[in-house]
């Protein structure tokens, strides 16, 4: 009986020590600067969000969050660098919703987008705008689908490149509506928008910031937004689902990941710190001005989102044979 009591006492003391150690580690983190890798050049959406939220986290924790731009290979150079970092929470990576599926789109990656990372925090979600030139004789998604079906294989949509988010959204729309849309890939968004404005191509699924000036100037027409709900910036514009395509919904997002095998107490601390930063009014206003909506969630919810997005786009990629090589 004495041995049993001693064993129980030892177990209780061990659990208490583990709990205390975890609490202490949580309270100490971070105790130095955090390196926030962005796999794109300064000025883009990833960079803007990283700097906006990173600055607020820095103010909260009293440590500098240093944005480290490492552009190249569509963000993959930065991701590879982050995957090799120590999993101590002091090197983290800004990602977009295209991150989990990079291994499905490209061969020869030197990291595994799913296995080599720890999902930490969802930052923001946004929608694409379904835009056409005003000269196109379609003012609704329903009319667009009818027009596309009346011109089999002659109706096209443009994207910022093979495997880009705008490409994937267009392919999902094609599948969901049974239309024979032809894909035209550009090397970036600017030229695609130029040809769309000129009426040389018919359709694009574009991030809002890239086309908002053209929309306001009347050089492009918005038919719908791709997300699950309307955007506050254009409350009069319906979603694609509201427009009759019930099995279509695309809500791109931004998030933060760290290397694999991060201590749970550290990943929980980072989730809490970033989620708290997203609640600041100045952060909300900055993101909203870019058409993004802050989306603080638990780490567990973010893990589920990453897996769900991977499974969703894996089916589309396999069905269409999309490659980004």
CATH number assigned to the domain comprising residue 93: 3.40.190.150
Token pair belonging to 170 = 């267009």
- For tokens 């000269």, the residue is 135
Residue 134 and residue 221 in one domain:
yes
> For the chain, how big is the Rg over CA atoms in Å?
22
Q: Is residue 20 part of a domain?
A: no
Whole-angstrom Cα distance, residue 202 to residue 156? 6
pTM of the model: 0.86
Nearest of 85, 94, 87 to residue 37 by alpha carbon: 94
Q: What is the dihedral of CA 38, 42, 47, 48, to 10 degrees?
A: 170
Q: Is residue 144 part of a domain?
A: yes
Nearest of 199, 118, 125 to residue 158 by alpha carbon: 199
For residue 76, which phi and psi values (nearest 5 degrees)?
-75, -25
- Give the list of residues 6+ apart from residue 86 with CB closer than 8 angstroms, or none: 259
Token pair belonging to 243 = 């427009």
Residue 91 and residue 113 in one domain:
yes
Domain total in the chain: 2
Range picked from 21-25, 111-115, 230-234 for highest mean pLDDT = 111-115
User: For helices 299-320 and 165-177, what crossing angle results, to 10°?
Assistant: 70
Q: Residue 10's pLDDT is what?
A: 45
Which of the two residues, 1 and 319, has the higher pLDDT score? 319
Q: Is residue 247 part of a domain?
A: no
For residue 239, which phi and psi values (nearest 5 degrees)?
-80, 165
Q: Is residue 56 part of a domain?
A: yes
Residue 190 and residue 259 in one domain:
no
Residue 183 and residue 121 in one domain:
no
What are the start-end ranges of the E strands in 74-154?
91-96, 117-126, 128-132
Token pair belonging to 273 = 């710190």
Q: Is residue 46 part of a domain?
A: yes
- Domain span at residue 298? 33-126+252-320
In DSSP terms, 94 is beta-bridged to 38, 256
Token pair belonging to 149 = 């079906």
- Distances, alpha carbon 235 to alpha carbons 196, 211, 225, 238, in Å: 24, 17, 10, 8
Residue 14: pLDDT band with limits 50, 70, 90: very low
Residue 314 and residue 267 in one domain:
yes
Final residue in a domain of this structure, among 189, 206, 225: 225
CATH number at residue 214: 3.40.190.10
Residue 122 and residue 256 in one domain:
yes
Q: Is residue 231 part of a domain?
A: no
Whole-angstrom Cα distance, residue 183 to residue 256? 31
- Give the list of residues 6+ apart from residue 221 with CB closer than 8 angstroms, or none: 131, 132, 133, 134, 136, 139, 215
- Give the list of residues 6+ apart from residue 181 with CB closer than 8 angstroms, or none: 148, 155, 156, 157, 170, 173, 174, 203
Q: Is residue 165 part of a domain?
A: yes
Q: Residue 123's pLDDT is what?
A: 97
Residue-wise pLDDT tens digits, 31-47: 999 999 999 999 888 89
Residue 27: pLDDT band with limits 50, 70, 90: low
30 prior amide bond cis, ω within 30: yes
Residue-wise pLDDT tens digits, 176-204: 999 999 999 998 888 899 999 999 999 99
Half-sphere exposure of 71 (CA within 13 A, CB side): 8
Final residue in a domain of this structure, among 207, 225, 243: 225
């Amino acid at each position: 009986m004495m041995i049993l009591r001693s064993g129980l006492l030892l177990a209780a003391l061990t659990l208490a020590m583990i709990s205390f150690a975890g609490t202490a580690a949580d309270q100490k983190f971070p105790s130095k600067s955090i390196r926030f890798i962005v796999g794109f050049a300064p000025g883009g959406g990833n960079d803007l969000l990283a700097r906006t939220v990173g600055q607020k986290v820095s103010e909260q924790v009293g440590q500098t969050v240093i944005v480290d731009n490492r552009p190249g290979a569509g963000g993959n150079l930065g991701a590879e660098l982050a995957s090799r970092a120590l999993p101590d929470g002091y090197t983290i990576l800004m990602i977009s919703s295209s991150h989990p599926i990079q291994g499905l789109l490209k061969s020869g990656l030197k990291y595994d987008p799913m296995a080599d990372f720890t999902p930490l925090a969802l930052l923001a979600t946004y929608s694409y705008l379904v835009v056409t030139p005003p000269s196109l004789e379609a003012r609704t998604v329903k009319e667009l689908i009818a027009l596309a079906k009346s011109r089999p294989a002659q109706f096209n949509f443009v994207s910022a490149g093979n495997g880009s988010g705008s490409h994937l959204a267009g392919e999902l729309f094609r599948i969901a509506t049974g239309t024979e849309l032809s894909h035209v890939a550009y090397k970036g968004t600017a030229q695609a928008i130029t040809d769309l404005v000129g009426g040389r191509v018919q359709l694009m699924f574009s991030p809002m910031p890239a086309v908002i000036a053209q929309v306001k100037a009347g050089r492009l027409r918005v038919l719908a937004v791709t997300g699950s709900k309307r955007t506050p910036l254009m409350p009069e514009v319906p979603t694609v689902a509201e427009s009759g395509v019930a099995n279509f919904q695309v809500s791109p997002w931004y998030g933060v990941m760290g290397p694999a095998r991060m201590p749970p107490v550290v990943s929980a601390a980072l989730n809490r710190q970033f989620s708290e930063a997203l609640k600041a009014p100045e952060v909300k206003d900055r993101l909203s001005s870019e058409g993004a909506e802050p989306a603080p969630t638990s780490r567990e919810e973010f893990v589920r989102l990453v897996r769900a997005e991977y499974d969703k786009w894996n089916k589309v990629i396999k069905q269409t044979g999309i490659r980004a090589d």
